[in-house]
Chains A and B, each alone.
Chain A
Amino acid sequence: MKLFKLIILFAFVPFAGFAKLNVVATTTDFGSIAQEIGGEKIDLTTLSKPTEDPHFVDAKPSFIVKLNHADALIEGGAELEVGWLPPLIEGSRNAKLESGKPGRVSCAEGIALLEVPTTLDRSKGDIHAAGNPHFMTDPLNGKIVAAHIAKSFCQLDPKSCDYFNANLKKFNDRFDAKMAEWQKLLAPDQGKDVVSYHNSWPYFAKRFDLKMDIFLEPKPGIPPSPSHLAEVITKMKSGQIKVIIVQPYQNRKTAEAVASHAEAVVLDFPSFPGSMKDTKGYIDWMDFLVKSLAKGFQARK
Chain B
Amino acid sequence: MRKFEAVNLEKFMKILKIIGWSSALCLSAMTLQAQETNEVGQFKKQLQQMQENFDKVTRAQQQQIEALTKKLDELTRTQLPPIAVAPVKTEEQKKLEAELATELAKDSTTNAASKSATQSSPLSAPWSASQPLTIARAGSAYMNISFDALMDAGWSTESDPSAQLQLGDHDPQKRGFSLRNAEIALDGAVDPYFKGFANIVLKLDNNNETDIELEETYLQSTSLPANLQLKAGQFFSAFGRNNPQHPHQWAFVDAPIISTRAFGPDGLRNIGTQLSWLAPTPFFTELSLGIFDGQGGTAHSFRNVGEDDGTGVNRFAGRATIDRNLRGPQDLLFTPRLASSFEVTDTQTLVGGLSGAFGPNDTGLHSRTEIYGADVYWKWKPANATEGFPFVSWQTEGIYRRFGAGSGADLMEPVQSENLRDWGAFSQVLWGFKPRWVTGIRGDYASGNSGQFDSSDAFRGERYRISPVLTFFPSEFSKVSLQYNHDHGEKFGTEHSVWIQLEFLLGAHGAHKF
Which residues of A line the B interface, CB within 8 A?
A: 49, 51-56, 58-62, 64-65, 68, 79-80, 82-87, 90-93, 95, 98, 115, 117, 119-122, 124-134, 137, 196-200, 202, 217, 219-221, 223-227, 229-231, 233-235, 238-239, 246-247, 249-254, 257-258, 261, 271-272, 275
Contact = CB atoms under 8 A, between A and B. Distances in A.
Contacts of A196: 117
Contacts of B224: 93
Given A83-B125, A86-B511, A230-B97, A221 B83 contact: no
**CB-CB nearest 3 A-B residue pairs:** A83-B127, A220-B123, A271-B119
Given A60-B341, A62-B283, A220-B122, A234 B192 contact: no
19 contacts: A53-B120, A55-B124, A55-B127, A56-B387, A59-B512, A79-B130, A83-B125, A93-B224, A95-B222, A126-B125, A127-B122, A127-B123, A197-B116, A200-B117, A220-B121, A235-B81, A238-B83, A247-B117, A249-B113
Given A82-B125, A93-B229, A261-B96, A221 B220 contact: no
Among A61, A119, A130, A133, the most chain B Cβ lie within 10 Å of the Cβ of: A61
Contact of B130 (A82, A200, A230): A82
A219 B116 CA distance: 11
Contacts of A271: 117-119
Contact of A90 (B192, B220, B381, B477): B220
Nearest to B226: A93
B220 to A, nearest CB: 7
A71 to B, nearest CB: 16
B138 interface: yes
B379 A58 contact: yes
Given A128-B122, A239-B83, A253-B107, 19 more contacts: A60-B349, A86-B129, A90-B220, A93-B224, A93-B228, A117-B122, A125-B124, A127-B122, A127-B131, A132-B122, A219-B123, A221-B120, A221-B123, A233-B96, A247-B118, A247-B119, A252-B111, A253-B103, A275-B118
B122 A131 contact: yes
A95 B222 CA distance: 8
A115 B131 CA distance: 15
A137 B119 CA distance: 10
B134 A120 contact: yes
A139 to B, nearest CB: 15
A234 B83 CA distance: 7
B506 to A, nearest CB: 9
B383 interface: yes
Contact of B511 (A49, A82, A93, A239): A82
A199 B121 contact: yes
A52 B383 contact: yes
A61 B119 contact: no
B488 interface: no
A62 B98 CA distance: 47
A220 B120 CA distance: 8
B101 to A, nearest CB: 4
Given A55-B387, A59-B511, A251 B278 contact: no
Interface string B102-143: 011011101101111111111111111111111001110000
A173 to B, nearest CB: 28
A261 B99 CA distance: 10
Given A58-B379, A82-B511, A226-B97, A130 B128 contact: no
Contacts of A128: 122-123, 125, 128, 131
Contacts of B128: 79, 82-83, 126, 128
A254 B103 contact: yes
A260 to B, nearest CB: 9
B511 A87 contact: yes
A126 B116 contact: no
B152 to A, nearest CB: 24
Contacts of B381: 58
Given A198-B124, A234-B83, A238-B83, A93 B278 contact: yes
Contacts of A246: 117
The majority secondary structure among interface residues of chain A is loop
A230 B93 CA distance: 7
Among B123, B342, B385, B512, the most chain A Cβ lie within 10 Å of the Cβ of: B123
Nearest to B114: A251
Contact of B129 (A82, A124, A125, A223): A82
Nearest to A91: B278
A87 B386 contact: no
Nearest to A99: B189
Given A61-B351, A84-B127, A125-B124, A53 B98 contact: no
Contact of B123 (A83, A199, A253): A199
Given A54-B119, A198-B124, A61 B134 contact: no
A117 to B, nearest CB: 7
Nearest to B342: A62
A85 B123 contact: no
B157 interface: no
Contacts of B120: 53, 55, 134, 198, 200, 220-221
Nearest to B83: A235
Given A79-B128, A253-B111, A119 B134 contact: yes
A132 B117 contact: no
A248 B295 CA distance: 56
B113 A58 contact: no
Nearest to B87: A231
B475 interface: yes
B131 A223 contact: no
Interface in B271-298: 278, 281-284, 286
A206 to B, nearest CB: 14
B343 interface: yes
Nearest to B340: A61
Contact of A221 (B107, B384, B475): B475
A56 to B, nearest CB: 4
Contacts of B475: 122, 125-126, 221
Interface in B337-361: 339, 341-343, 346, 349, 351
B514 interface: yes
Contacts of B513: 59, 87
A55 B126 contact: yes
Contacts of A224: 104
Contact of B512 (A61, A83, A220, A226): A83
Nearest to A200: B119
B468 interface: no
Contacts of B384: 51-52, 249-250
Given A93-B228, A115-B122, A61 B514 contact: yes
Contact of A62 (B117, B131, B341, B477): B341
